[in-house]
Amino acid sequence: MSEQKPRWSSVDQIAAEVLSCTRCVLSETRTRAVPGDGSSTTAVMFIGEGPGQNEDEQGLPFVGRAGKLLNSLLAEVPLQREDVYITNVVKCRPPGNRDPEPDEVAACLPYLQAQIELIDPRVIVTLGRHSMLRFYPQGKISNDHGRIIDIGGRVLLPVYHPAAALRNPRLNQTLREDMRRIPEAVRKSLLLRRPAEPGSKPEHRSALTESEEDVQPVAESSDTSATGSDTEAADQRDQMSLF
């Protein structure tokens, strides 16, 4: 008999379990687990690869130099950290900031899937190559950064990791330009067909197992008049109030 998939009813419940998680070896070397931080009702979710040293010490995502740059980039959108939700693929720091091992990613996957399911963002912004590949495995960050991609009912916007821009100043302007596409990504997400009910499976696959044929660029049209629904129109106004 297969083990029943754990379920949570809130992002706070997920965070509580992450803080005491021992599913993989990263729990043996962490100082603090880093579940995520921000609004649980946001239209925009940011996903990095894993915590670094500062994050491990403070228990919060993106609080070091890369986090300061991210805050600056958000302000240019304009957004504040409390307007979005920020998390990572793995919730504990890999020793020496190495890449997470496949079994470590797999151990954290239920947490990330549940966060996406509960927050139900219209736009997922992946920070860096490793995070992008979890959602768009055929992608290449040098080619696909800044693209607005339909991943089955929501939008993916891959961007370079802020740490990469700190190491390579030539990427800084590229990252800034890509981040400024967030309002456009939200607008285009409003054109996509959404799940009939929160959590319904065909559309709500967390985009972590999408096949290549499921992933197509969002149509360039910005005409939202075709919805014809008062409910959808209200939803559009609510989501665009971010900006």
Q: Would you say residue 4 lies in a domain? A: no
Supply the DSSP symbol for 189: H
Q: Would you say residue 6 lies in a domain? A: no
The CATH number given to whatever domain includes residue 43 is 3.40.470.10
Q: Would you say residue 184 lies in a domain? A: yes
Cis bond leading into 95, ω under 30°? no
Outline where DSSP puts E strands in 53-173: 85-88, 123-127, 149-150, 155-159
State the pLDDT at residue 152. 86
Number of domains comprising the chain: 1
State the pLDDT at residue 7. 83
Look up the pTM and report it. Answer: 0.80
Alpha carbons 25 and 179: distance in angstroms, whole number: 34
Q: Would you say residue 2 lies in a domain? A: no
Q: Would you say residue 21 lies in a domain? A: yes
Q: Would you say residue 73 lies in a domain? A: yes
State the pLDDT at residue 78. 94
State the pLDDT at residue 153. 87
Across the beta sheet with 155-159, the strand order is 37-38, 85-88, 44-48, 123-127, 155-159, 149-150, 216-217
Beta carbons of 17 and 108 less than 8 angstroms apart: no
State the pLDDT at residue 18. 98
> Which domain range does residue 212 map to?
11-240
State the pLDDT at residue 5. 56
**Hey, is 44 helix, strand or coil?**
strand
Burial 5-31 (b: 16+ CB within 10 A, else e): eeebeebeebbebbeebebbebbeebe
Mean per-residue pLDDT pooled into runs of 10, the chain (243 residues): 66 97 96 97 97 96 95 95 97 94 96 96 96 95 96 94 94 96 95 54 38 38 38 43 52
Q: Would you say residue 1 lies in a domain? A: no
Q: At a CB cut-off of 8 Å and minimum separation 6, what does 204 contact?
A: 117, 120, 153, 195, 198
